[in-house]
Structure 1
Amino acid sequence: MNWKNHDSYIELYPPKEFDFKQCLDFLARNVQEMLHKIKDGYLIKLLKIDEEMILCKIEAEHTVIKVEFLSGKPSYEGREAIAKYIWEWFDLDQNLEEFYNIASEDKLLSPLVKRYYGLRIVGMPDLFESLVWAIIGQQINLNFAYTLKKRFVKAFGESIIFENETYWVFPSYDKIAQIEVEELRNHQFTTRKAEYIIGIAKAMTTNEISKEALLNQHDFEKIKQSLMVLRGVGAWSADYVLMKCFHDNSSYPVGDVGLQNAFKSNLGLDRKPTAEEMYEYAKAWKGWEAYATFYLWRSLSDKTT
């Protein structure tokens, strides 16, 4: 991580294959999003660092990401934690040169990497958030998933008001572990999804599962199996979390309807591809299936807005 500390802000120095605007376009894909706001080419996000709420204004000029603190002045350790969060959020440790070399020779990916050059997998550094979002998104369309997420955040998240606007952080697993299934049912969650989410929150509260312990396994397949032990987490959800939270470049959620639609649309097919066909295409992307998936997902936003 390459960053520098200043009095009221920090600077991060991303690798060359990074385009902040491309990442903003992805983050702007749904107006119901509660966890950040985009204004005039910059991003405002509330982060909770060591129990302190820090409102950050994030913008990029040339090769520098500037993070200004709008509320409070975090400690040096707090600033480092914020830098680490943003570095991970935008997957800035990743060297994309190999992916772009592979994609530029690929019929399906070549036009996408030209169109979205500099886009990185915009992740979810928080394990609980990524698991909850994966469960919320099961078997419903993206817009209704955002509706449920908005209700979840407003009902159980924390917030601050700055210049007459409210900013939110995602609910903590500690809080969700203490609620009843009926409280989520009241927000149109199915009984099963409510049980899954509360069950995961309880497992994290008792340290039955944690991001640190999973990372210590040093093996994505082992992490996937550990995630799938959790009730409500199947192969698709585990692959999604591996991609968004653990930076597993080989994660490939072939069961994802959006990915299937992206294949169909970009290849001009009259039907969705089979899993076998998708695996066959992915042979050329070995080791970069997650980035191929993310660029294909990104193409769907262009076709629906």
Structure 2
Amino acid sequence: MNPVDLHPPRWDNHGMSAPLHRELMLDRMLAADRAYDGRFITGVVSTGIYCLPSCRARKPKPENVVFHFTPGQARAAGLRACLRCRPDDFYADVHRDEARVEALMALIDASPAAVRNVRDLARLADVSPSKLHDLFRMHLHTTPVEWLARQRVAHAQRLLMTTARTAAEIAFDVGFESLSAFGEQFRRWSALTPHAYRRLPHTQAIRLTLPPGYPTAALLRDLGRDPASLTDRVDGQRYTAAVRLTSGAVVIQVDFTPGTATCTVLSPQSLEGLNWAELHGMLLRRLGLTTDPSRFEAHVTAASDLAPLLSGGHGLRTPLIADLFDGLLWAIVGQQVNFPFACTLRRRITERAGELVMDGLFAPPTPDAVLALTDADLVGLGLTRARAGYLRHAARQVVDGQLPLTALATGTATRAERTLLAQNGIGPWSAHYVMLRVFGFQDCVPLGDTALATALQRHFALPSRPDRAQTTELMARFAPYRSLATLHFWRHFQSTKETSHDHVPPARLHPRPSLPVAASG
């Protein structure tokens, strides 16, 4: 199984068309930053070699440096591999491991009962259980045990909707060794019993059982971040939103009571043909029910200097942006602007290209609808010309299948990051933001984020804000739960301010700063 060709864009030393700009790459090369290995290749024209950013050989003069995105590009430019850092070996190992994980994913997707446990999974991958654990942490941001359970639950959901087999038969068909384990894991990752899930198409509402300690108030604050939003509304304990399903756009209404979230569908059209399983999955994402914070909280509580991070935030979860393209749109139009103007831009684009469903609520724009707008249209709505181009390019990539958002969200984190970074207008911060708030990967850090750096400075009583290298070192203590740690640090940062703030990387290193967490919708 071979990784797909990403078709990275050509590097332009004088423009911003590449996903990583020259100043950032020079800075990271001079710092020998291992975090950028795999993101770009350093070519040295004076010696004719190419290296990893982390190479410890004597650093060349900047005027002798060119950058490439793959070893193949560097070789095509007439360069040869460095014998010290051996970039070809690095890339071979990265992609070999990624391909091994993707092959396992394809196997279990086709036959979840093909393995009984993690040892069987490791044998299939031809690695030790400890190596398999490391691979899953790197490429999927989870453990093999948790991933296998979730895949079995997902397969069980499909069988419950498409076959007449009993829940007990399905439980063993997908690889569970007992009905009690099946029921526990199904409720954990579905917020429903198997019986209730099967009956979804025959009910008038989805009643999700919320886990103990679910942070309803914090979730509603996040969902109602933009009080004038055209896609979402929060009124007391009720959340109303226009969402786009395969069968069409509808308005959903979610009412929160202690321990329960009840979703009803409001639509001016017949609900016949509504994909209830699709709506259920979207609800889980939007309500932050696709992750479990318990292990993160146990990890943090065990360290006395980390434990205060949880103050006032126990049970915090990551509410994901329901529509994947809408999340990507946020990550582009929200760059280099404050949060209120980011909301204004999104409202303008939604009103112009979204779909009015009912009661003034719009479903978010589709990629095709954005492509129907010209650069001039988007500039007229308030975007810069460059950002208008980035947005339309991203929409074109989605439409043409070059940016398969669903596949990226359900695939490996390494492929998702690499693919996002190959897009015009998406740098490292934006890529990790999308991975964290749109795709739901659990171990992301938006390096260069000033709000995160400020919160880290306060938490650890540092004399100054940490730089990228220091941020990496500090956040390493929260691995493999750095996405939730980031949300908690953002929460602490926002709690000290009277108004929302952007999370803006230093302009010198990343002149295309990305979206604030508050703008996730």
Global fold match (TM > 0.5): yes
- State percent identity of aligned pairs: 22
2:276 aligned with 1:69? no
Residue 75 to residue 91, structure 1, CA distance change in 2 (3 Å): farther
Residue 268 to residue 36, structure 1, CA distance change in 2 (3 Å): farther
2:191 aligned with 1:2? yes
Q: Which residue among 395, 413, 417 is the counterpart of 1:201?
A: 395
Give distance in 1, aligned partners of 2:213 and 2:365. 33
Give distance in 1, aligned partners of 2:273 and 2:308. 43
Deviations 1:235-288 (A, max 9, x none): 111111111122211111012223223334545556422112211211211111
Matches within 5 A, 1:121-200: 121-162=318-359, 166-200=360-394
Give distance in 2, aligned partners of 1:55 and 1:270. 49
Give distance in 2, aligned partners of 1:61 and 1:261. 36
Residue 107 to residue 198, structure 1, CA distance change in 2 (3 Å): farther
SS state at 1:115 partner: coil
- Give the letter for the 1:224 counterpart: E
* Corresponding residue number in structure 2 for 1:90: 287
Of the structure 1 ranges 219-228 and 26-35, higher mean CA displacement relative to structure 2 is found in 26-35
- The CA deviation at 1:234 is 1.0
Give distance in 1, aligned partners of 2:371 and 2:352. 14
Q: Which residue among 282, 288, 296 is the counterpart of 2:481?
A: 288
Give distance in 2, aligned partners of 1:109 and 1:42. 34
* Corresponding residue number in structure 1 for 2:436: 243
5+ residue gaps, structure 1, are none
Larger Rg: 2
- Give the letter for the 2:340 counterpart: N
Give distance in 2, aligned partners of 1:135 and 1:171. 14
- The CA deviation at 1:138 is 1.9
2:450 aligned with 1:257? yes
Give distance in 2, aligned partners of 1:220 and 1:151. 32
Contact 2:255 2:262 in 1 (8 A): yes
Residue 256 to residue 41, structure 1, CA distance change in 2 (3 Å): same
Contact 2:243 2:323 in 1 (8 A): no
Contact 2:375 2:388 in 1 (8 A): yes
Give distance in 1, aligned partners of 2:305 and 2:325. 33
Give distance in 2, aligned partners of 1:275 and 1:231. 23
Give distance in 2, aligned partners of 1:155 and 1:31. 19
Give distance in 2, aligned partners of 1:188 and 1:278. 34
- Give the letter for the 1:194 counterpart: A
* Corresponding residue number in structure 2 for 1:55: 251
- The CA deviation at 1:232 is 0.8
5+ residue gaps, structure 2, are 1-189, 499-521
Between Structure 1 and Structure 2, which shows a larger proportion of strand residues?
1
Give distance in 2, aligned partners of 1:297 and 1:273. 15
Residue 75 to residue 118, structure 1, CA distance change in 2 (3 Å): farther
Contact 2:243 2:252 in 1 (8 A): yes
- The CA deviation at 1:215 is 4.6
Deviations 1:171-209 (A, max 9, x none): 110111122101010011011110000001111111111
Deviations 1:24-73 (A, max 9, x none): 12223333433210102110111122343321111222222100223255
SS state at 2:362 partner: strand
Q: Which residue among 83, 100, 104 is the counterpart of 2:301?
A: 104
- Give the letter for the 1:2 counterpart: A
* Corresponding residue number in structure 1 for 2:46: none
- The CA deviation at 1:303 is 2.5
How many residues align? The count is: 301
* Corresponding residue number in structure 1 for 2:222: 26
Contact 1:60 1:66 in 2 (8 A): yes
* Corresponding residue number in structure 1 for 2:316: 119
Deviations 1:135-171 (A, max 9, x none): 1222222222122112211221112333xxx112211
Residue 125 to residue 13, structure 1, CA distance change in 2 (3 Å): same
Give distance in 2, aligned partners of 1:119 and 1:181. 39
* Corresponding residue number in structure 2 for 1:80: 277
Residue 292 to residue 75, structure 1, CA distance change in 2 (3 Å): farther
